[in-house]
Amino acid sequence: MKVMNIIEAVNDALHLEMERNDKVVVFGEDVGGFGGVFRATKGLTDRFGEPRCFNTPIVEQGIIGFAMGLAMNGFKPCPEIQFADYIFPAYDQIVNEVAKSRFRSGNSFTAGMVIRTPYGGGIHGGCYHSQSPEAQFLHTPGIKVVIPSDPYEAKGLLLASLRTDDPILFLEPKRIYRASKCEVPLDDYEIPLGQAQVAREGKDLTLIGWGAQHHQNLEAAKKAEAMGIDVEVLNLRTLNPLDIDTIIASIKKTGKCVVSQEAPKTMGFAAEISALIMEKAFLHLEAPVFRCCGFDTPFANAHEHEYMPDSPRVIKAIKDTYDY
């Protein structure tokens, strides 16, 4: 075991899998000798050579198009998009080509790849370096979406993702890239995709989140306990596949639910979770499902703290739902 942050855990996973599978290829803007803007790919070029970890031009649609060609020819590409906000020039390649490869080929081939990208706010990056675009890809069949919340999850989920045939969008919460630290096994392990974590058991209310927001939820749950509210905290880990069984089991126990996401509220994934709860556990609900989210505006810079759903906002959502 070793105490790591998320960047170190991602780097460790990439080293392990590139050693195990010589078909894994890492590429993107500045990921080579420089190690990426956040240093997540540090040392890969030195260890495995430039043919397996190299820089690309600043052309996201080319990065993903190239990755699809590699995947269709037996390689396992792991391209990095430097910030999730930069992924939109490659949106057509991802949703119209990569996501549909298995379907349109009659299961003859799939564009199996892991697209790594840091997402979310918390670094005062303004509206072009702070977005959380997960919902825009969850609307597309054929793409799996994975979001770790700590170093242990980052390594285990990334290793599992790199061994999956389907294309995966692996969103890394850059706000806690270095702030989140925990013990991580040095050996090989996987965290199965589609398996949520009950991070804190409770009986009064279910609080659901993922990625960096999970930490705000845990903090809010601890403070709610002092108010006499026993909150169960679910950390989804993967949004597609979604562990709906764990969600519904928790709702049946608590009867009340808050879903908290960093992304804007309207048409976000929190809305889909709310709808699924209404479909599958309506008779167990004692209050409407409440969403605590980012605002429906471009991501603020000077007012970043006010924009993000921090623990005080989550606590208010918990109290309002509990008192309904």
| pLDDT tens figures, 124-176 | 898 999 999 999 999 999 999 999 999 999 999 999 999 999 999 999 999 99
Give burial (CB, 10 Å; 0-12/13-18/19+) of 283: exposed
* Average pLDDT rounded to a whole number, residues 234-257: 98
Instruction: Name the pTM for this structure.
Output: 0.97
Nearest to 258 by CA among 299, 279, 286, 297: 286
Q: Cα–Cα distance between 185 and 121 in angstroms, integer?
A: 28
Active site residues: 60, 129
Question: Is the pLDDT confidence value at 252 over 90?
Answer: yes
CA–CA separation, 258 and 28 (whole Å): 37
Q: Which two tokens stand for residue 258?
A: 């808050």
CATH code for the domain defined by 197-322: 3.40.50.920
* Per-residue pLDDT, 302: 86
Domains 2-184 and 197-322 share a fold: yes
Residue 3: its pLDDT value, please?
A: 98
Calculate what percentage of the chain has a pLDDT beyond 90. 94
Is residue 115 a contact partner of residue 89, using CB atoms and an 8 Å limit?
no
Quick one: three-class SS letters along the chain? Answer: CEEEEHHHHHHHHHHHHHHHCCCEEEEECCCCCCCCCCCCCCCHHHHHCCCCEEECCCCHHHHHHHHHHHHHCCCEEEEECCCHHHHHHHHHHHHHHHCCHHHHCCCCCCCCCEEEEEECCCCCCHHHCCCCCHHHHHCCCCCEEECCCCHHHHHHHHHHHHCCCCCEEEEEEHHHCCCCEEEECCCCCCCCCCCCEEEECCCCEEEEECCCHHHHHHHHHHHHHCCCCCEEEEECCEEECCCHHHHHHHHHHHCCEEEEEEEECCCCHHHHHHHHHHHHHHHHCCCCCEEEEECCCCCCCCCHHHHCCCHHHHHHHHHHHHCC
CB 269 within 8 Å of CB 239:
yes
β-bridge mates for residue 257, sequence order: 206
Q: How confident is the model at residue 300 (pLDDT cuts 50, 70, 90)?
A: confident
Q: Where are the domains of the chain?
A: 2-184, 197-322
pLDDT tens digit string along 90-113?
999 999 999 999 999 998 888 999
pLDDT digits (tens, 9 = 90+) for 71-90: 999 999 999 999 999 999 99
**What values do phi and psi take at 27, rounded to 5?**
-155, 160
Task: Give the model's pLDDT for residue 109.
Answer: 85
One of 3.40.50.970, 3.40.50.1390, 3.40.50.620, 3.40.640.10 is the CATH number of 2-184, namely 3.40.50.970
> For tokens 């078909």, what's the residue?
23
